[in-house]
Amino acid sequence: MVTLKEAKTKSELKDFVKFPFSLYKGSPYWVPPIINDELESFDKSKNPVFKDADAWFYLAYRDNKIVGRVAAIINRLEVNQQQVKKMRFGWFDFVDDFEVTEALFNKVAEIGKEHKLSYMEGPVGFSNLDKVGVLTEGFDEKGTMITWYNHPYYVNHFERFGFVKEKEYMENKFPFSNAEPKFFQKANELVRKRYGVKELNFTKTKEVMPWADKMFDLFNETYSSLSSFVRITDIQKEYFKKKYISFINPEYIKFILDKDDKLIAFGIVMPSFSKALQKAKGKLFPFGIFHLLSAKKNSKEVIFYLIGVLPEYQNKGVTAVMFNEYYKTFKAKGIEKCVRTPELEENVAIRQIWKHFDPKIYKRRRTYKKEL
């Protein structure tokens, strides 16, 4: 018999966070989170997302052993302002047992019906900057710190209980050697001359901070046309600045300004922390922090996390200016491989940006939907 228990105390939430450590024990592909970092993101007194969202965290037990988990989420900005009556769910992991997933699905559906929502969709996080999607292809590829990994049987569980595909995401990679200057150097020169744009590079994190709010505003403008987009609030901006920007090499953040010094495009790239996180095993201390700092300095693999271009400058070659700057930085650091984070299948514009680099799709993931 499967029983569910809501995780409310710090100890229970720690059990919630640590369940995947046993589920994926020994997997060379699963990348663990930092336990305390995950706990902080679930702390309603610390994460400002809870000013506009509600969440319930459930653990499934069989014979007093944890066999599954799920976070049921309602984003009130999405439900009330956008009138998207969605019951979100994420952090969804389970053993290969249909009784377990049925109990977890039923609990999410129950909460959704109580709040008069129309459908449930997952796996998704609180907002657009959280992890998204269940992996459907690429199970023998190492994960990243910004994606969920899962066993191949997950898809069968969604389909068994009547879920249908809602959104498809693709992940691409290419060797840095594919980034030949001929694809962007000439365009870089033309765009600079035609529009008077210029690059803004950084060497210290403190140099980035005065521009961070403008970057998040541009992010909101860039992605607002995509389905299920929820704007980042001012309170969330402060939280993300403290949590993420100090974690990113300042030289991997590139801004493009127009002739009046207005921010019109940005790129955020991160070194790959996957191997370092596997070595850290969920803990920063005593040695995890050293693995992460080493990866930040020495990783030869980078992840293109976000690229944003002001709508009126899209399709005008502005990204050529950005790529020209990244090329110089990556060549100096000896970067060997470039990876892109999950991108919506419908986002044709982003695929056009990369067409000359001959990227290969190496993972696919999707969210699933079911009417309530």
- Written as one string, the DSSP assignment of 89-158 is EEEEEE-S-HHHHHHHHHHHHHHHHHTT-SEEEESB-SSTTS-B-EEEE-TTS---TTS----TTHHHHH
pLDDT digits (tens, 9 = 90+) for 153-169: 999 999 999 999 999 99
Q: Return the higher-pLDDT residue of 246 and 2.
A: 2
pLDDT of 325 higher than 80:
yes
3-state helix, strand and coil shares in percent for the chain, rounded to the nearest 5: 40, 25, 30
Percent of the chain with pLDDT over 90: 86
Q: Note the pTM of the prediction, 2 decimals.
A: 0.94
> Is residue 227 over pLDDT 70?
no
Which domains does the chain show, CATH number per domain? Answer: 2-171 (3.40.630.30), 174-362 (3.40.630.30)
Distances in Å between the alpha carbon of 162 and those of 4, 14, 61?
21, 31, 23
- Please spell the DSSP secondary structure of 162-191, one letter per residue: T-EEEEEEEEEEEEGGG--GGGTHHHHHHH
Q: 47-55, long-range: CB within 8 Å, 24+ apart, which pairs?
A: 47/126, 47/239, 48/233, 48/235, 48/236, 48/238, 48/239, 49/126, 49/127, 49/236, 49/239, 51/233, 51/235, 52/76, 52/77, 52/233, 53/77, 53/126, 53/127, 55/126
φ, ψ (nearest 5 deg) of residue 331: -65, -40
348 pLDDT more than 70: yes
